[in-house]
Structure 1
Amino acid sequence: MTDQQILHVNDIDLSVHFAGPETGKPVWLLHGFPECWYSWRHQMAALADAGFRVCVPEMRGYGRTSAPQPIEAYDLITLCSDIQAAMDHLGHTEVAMVGHDWGAPVAWHLALLEPERVKVVCGMSVPFGGRPKRPAIDIMREHFKDRFHYILYFQEPGRAEQELEADIPRTLRLAMHGLSESGKSNALFNDKPADARWLEDRVDPGVPPEWCPPDAFDVYVATFERCGFRGPLNWYRNFQRSWERTADLAGLQIEQPALFLIGDRDPVGEMEAYTIQKMPSLVPKVEQHVFTDCGHWIQGEQAEEVNRLLLEFLGRTYT
C-alpha cells in the first residue's frame, strides 16, 4: 500500500510516494533516466515490510513534479536541494539515501552535503568519482568531437526531445533493452557520425523486457506522456553549472557507510571502470557488489538480490 503527496518545497511541487509505517526510519529512493518512481516498486514493498518509512520522489522534471523551463534549474545542487527541503518539510533528522542512475549522483552528493542527516548511502549503477578537475562535458567534447555520443546529443535543446517524444513507448523499450547489454551493441556506445540521432538505428523489440511487465511499463509511459523529456534531459545540460556549484565539495570524502551495486552487463560499468576502481579512496567505507548477468536496470532486473543486500546493509548500518 502506497500513498502520494505533493510537497511544496524549493519553489516547486514535489510529488512523493510513501510506503511503510510513518514511525519507521526514513529511506529515500531516487530514480534515474529514463525512469520513474515506480522503478522502485519492489524495494518499496520490501523496505516497508521491514518497517522502514519509504519515500520515493518523482524527481524534478518528472511525472507530477514541477518541470521548470530554464535549463539552469536542473543543476546538481538544485536537485539535491529539492530532497533537502523535502526532508526539512517532513522533519527527517536521520535518513538512508539510495539512488540509481542519475539518482545516484544526487544521493552521493547529499551524503557530502548532509553528513549528519544522511547516515548511510547507496548508489546503484553510477559510482562516486569526486569533483573532476574540469567539467566532464569538456572532456566529452574533446574526445568525441567527430563521433556520436549520447550525452553530447542531449546538449542541444529540442533536438533529442523531438526524437524521444515522437514515440514514447518505443523510446522506453529501446532504452530498457539497450542498457542491459555491455559492449558495442548497447545504447551508450554508438559508432556513427556526430550528427546522428540516438535511437535511429535501433530495432524496436516491440515488447518491454521481462523485468518490466506491461502494467509497470504503462506507468513509465504515462510518466513521460505527462512530463515529456525536456526536464529529464536538462539534467544532462548542467555539467558546467554543476561543476561550478560544487567547488566547495572538491576533495571531500564520503565518510558514511556506503553500498555500491552494479550489473556485470551494465554499459555504465565500462564507461566508469576507472572511477569504480578508485572509489574506495573517496568512499572509504564502501561495500561493492557486482551482479552476474545483470544490466543497467538493476533494481528491476534482480530485485530480490537488490532487496537482500539493501536490507542486510541497512540492518547493520542504519539502526
Structure 2
Amino acid sequence: MGEGPLVVFCHGFPESWYSWRHQLPAVAAAGFRAVAMDMRGYGETTAPASTDAYTLSHMVGDVVALVAALDEEQAVVVGHDWGAPIAWYSALMRPDVFRGVVGMSVPYTAPIAMPSGMTMTDLMRKAAGPGREYYRLFFQEPGVAEANLEADIDRTVRGFLYSISGNVVTDGVFERGWDGHFPMGQDFMQQLVVPEVLPPWLTEEDVKFYAAELARSGFHGGLSWYRNINAQPAILSPFVGTTITAPSMYVSGENDLIAANPAAMEKFPTSLPGLRGVHVLPDAGHWIQQERPLEVNDVLVAFLTSL
C-alpha cells in the first residue's frame, strides 16, 4: 500500500498481516510503501510440516527475501510480539538491508553465550518454579498445544486477544496483566478469559477474520516458532557482543506482562545505540497496535519520517 521507502510489518502469535490493518493506511499516507506479510506458517503461506523449518534463520531469511521480491534494496522493519524479535534480529544480522527497526511488545534482547549445559527451556523452567507451568513450555510438545488451541478456534481468538489486552485490567478482571504462568496440570485455554462483550478495539468481523485464517493454517506453524527456542542461541552466537546500530524504537503497553523484560530495557543504551525512543502507553496491553492505533501511528510515522 502506498509509494515511497519500504516499510515491512511482521506480526506475532497467533495473528496475521491483518493485525497491522490500522497502520498500513497511516504509513502509506505519510509517504511510504507499507507491506504487512503473513509470517511463515500463517495465512496462505507455504507452511512446512517440519518443525525444523521455523528457526530464527528461516524467519529472518523470509523478511530479507520479501524485500528482494519487492525489488527493493532496503527497508525499515516493524515487528510485534514474535514479529518483534524477527525485526530486531533482522536488523542485527542484515544491517545492509534494514535501515531502521521498530519493536513492539517484546524488547530487544542482545545475544548472549548460554551457560554450559543449559537450554532456553531449562532457564524458563527454572524461572517458572516448582509446580508452575509457563505458556512457552506448554507449547513445546507437538500435538498437545495444537489440540488445545484448535478445539474451538473462535473461542481461542476471543480469549487470547482479550486475556492479554489492557482491558483485563481496566475491566477489573485482573489487578495486573497475566504473565504467562499457571499451575502445572492445567492447559493454556483454561487460563483465558472469554469476554461476553468484545473490547472496543476488537469487532466481530475482526474475530471472524482471525478465526478463518487460523482454521485454514492451523496452529502448527506458529507453535513451531516456540519449538525452535533452544536453537536460537547457536544461531545468534556469531553476533554476541555486537549491537543494532540502525535507528530504532520500542513501543509497549503498561499492562503487558506477557513479554515484560525490564532487564532488557535497562540495557537499551548499550544494546541499541541508535535508539530514538521508548513509548510505554498507559493502560494498554499486549496488542498495542490494535488497542491504541492512533497513538502507535503517531509515534511510528514520526520515527519513519525522521530517518
Q: Deviations over 1:187-220 (max 9, x none)?
A: 4344412x32012254421443221212222211
The residue aligned with 2:263 is: 274
| 2:8 pairs with 1:20 | no
Correspondence 1:156 to 2:141: yes
Structure 1 counterpart of 2:33, which letter? R
The one-character-per-residue Cα deviations of 1:8-59 (angstroms, maximum 9, x if unpaired) are xxxxxxxxxxx113xx110000000111111101100101112211111100
- Asked if the contact 1:20/1:48 (under 8 Å) is kept, the reply is yes
Give 1:283's aligned residue: 272
**Residue in structure 1 matching 2:121, options 137, 157, 162:** 137
Report how many aligned residue pairs link the two structures: 295
Deviation sequence 1:110-157 (CA, Å, 0-9, x none): 101221221111000101111133243220122335311111100000
What is the aligned-residue RMSD (CA, Å)? Answer: 1.7
CA distance in 2, matches of 1:201, 1:104: 24
* Corresponding residue of 1:13: none
Matches within 5 A, 1:256-267: 256-267=246-257
Maintained 8 Å contact 2:163/2:194: no
3-state SS of 1:115 partner: coil
Structure 1 unmatched ranges of 5 or more: 1-18
Runs of 4+ deviating beyond 3 Å: 181-191
Q: Distance in 1 between matches of 2:192 and 2:279?
A: 31
How do residues 35-114 of structure 1 correspond to structure 2 at under 5 angstroms? 35-114=15-94
- Contact kept, 8 Å, 1:178 with 1:185, in 2: the verdict is no
| Distance in 1 (alpha carbons) for counterparts of 2:132 and 2:103 | 30
Deviation at 1:184, TM superposition (A): 7.0
| 1:185 Cα deviation after fit | 6.1
- Distance in 2 between the 1:162 and 1:177 partners? 21
- 1:255–1:285 contact (8 Å) kept in structure 2: yes
Residue of structure 2 in register with 1:167 after alignment? 152
Match of 1:251 among 241, 244, 247: 241
Q: How far apart are the structure 2 equivalents of 1:162 and 1:188?
A: 23
Superposition TM-score, scaled by structure 2 size: 0.91
What is the deviation of 1:280? 2.1
The Cα shift of 1:267 comes to 1.2
Give the whole-Å Cα distance in 1 for the aligned partners of 2:178 and 2:143. Answer: 20
Alpha-carbon distance in 2 for matches of 1:148, 1:261: 28
Structure 1 equivalent of residue 199 of structure 2:
209
Number of the residue aligned with 1:305: 295
Q: Which amino acid in 1 is paired with 2:157? A: L
Once the two structures are superposed, what CA deviation does each residue of 1:47-78 show, in whole Å capped at 9, x if it has no partner? 11122111111000001011111111111111
In 1, Cα distance between equivalents of 2:122 and 2:175: 23
Residues 1:184 and 1:147: Cα distance change in structure 2 (over 3 Å): farther
Is the Cα contact below 8 Å between 1:208 and 1:217 reproduced in 2? Answer: no
CA contact (8 A) 1:25 1:95 kept: yes
Counterparts of 1:190 and 1:184, CA distance in 2: 15
> What fraction of aligned residue pairs are identical, expressed as a percent?
39
- The within-5 A match list for 1:170-249 is 170-181=155-166, 186-193=177-184, 195-249=185-239
Please state whether the residue corresponding to 1:164 is helix, strand or coil: helix
Distance 1:237 1:191 in 2: 19
Higher relative contact order (CA 8 A, sep 6+): 2
> Structure 2: how far apart are the matches of 1:288 and 1:53?
24
Q: TM-score scaled by structure 1?
A: 0.88
